[in-house]
Structure 1
């Protein structure tokens, strides 16, 4: 018979969304923050083993620093390995100041939209939507 905690983990794994996992290839700060929020909602907050969270994070990241992330698998405690991988990505791509600068750049370089251009205003709002 499996312990209750293991049964709860298996149930949580079975309840994971069947939609495609977000991917991140090491692009812009905006792409990182979108990936981070989506990953956190789908996997980070799920009551699943940290080893599975780490493996899922590694499979979702396709950038050049994958070798550095793989080193987190060597950490004996899966929770510590997952936390180290998240911290690594945050340090490398999570610069909030650069993120804000990219958002400001989108507004500044964006197309001029007239106040009576409903479709243009909707597109601008969609482009600027932040989670």
Structure 2
């Protein structure tokens, strides 16, 4: 099992769930008198499973307190929600519900638009307000520069500095 939250197994688990349900469908239809639906059953089942797994995602709450928080939040959001095949309207709802109330108030009007346009614009407004990459890089570098001085004999302080440098590198690499 990876470090993902419960409900976020690899896509093979989703495929196995879909295959199991598809195998049971003929029996269920016969038993309960169901009819074959038009369209791809596999596609609709994948969509339902995707929505289910997306709704069980444990996304941190975005409060809008810093650019670093924004980048951490967006990486989590894209990892757990952005990759699912769920409709944009559901993704927009997940985005809104994973934000603090002051940010929800800004994003709620986008639910009145077409779902794909509303979702895209909601992501865009968050990026415009909090996602300035250059300012975030500057913040990270200033934190390093203005941090406490570390003596070469201070093993714990050097380890903390190395950890902070690693966090900066990860932040730089995660920006798209």
Measured against the shorter chain, the TM-score band is 0.7 to 0.9
Tell whether 2:68 aligns with 1:30: yes
> TM-score normalized by structure 2?
0.65
Equivalent in 118, 122, 125 of residue 159 of structure 2: 122
C-alpha distance in 1 between matches for 2:162 and 2:119: 35
**Residue 149 of structure 2 aligns with which residue?**
112
Relative to 1, partners in 2 of residues 1:120 and 1:50: Cα closer, same or farther, differing over 3 Å? same
Equivalent in 122, 145, 164 of residue 85 of structure 1: 122
C-alpha distance in 2 between matches for 1:81 and 1:17: 19
**Residue 12 of structure 1 aligns with which residue?**
50
Relative to 1, partners in 2 of residues 1:13 and 1:116: Cα closer, same or farther, differing over 3 Å? farther
**Residue 104 of structure 2 aligns with which residue?**
66
| Structure 2, unpaired ranges of 5+ | 1-36
Shift in Å, 1:113: 2.0
Q: What is the aligned residue count?
A: 130
Shift in Å, 1:3: 4.4
Q: Which structure is richer in relative contact order (CA contacts within 8 A, separation 6 or more)?
A: 1
Shift in Å, 1:62: 0.8
> Alignment RMSD, CA only?
2.2
Shift in Å, 1:89: 0.3
| Structure 1, unpaired ranges of 5+ | none
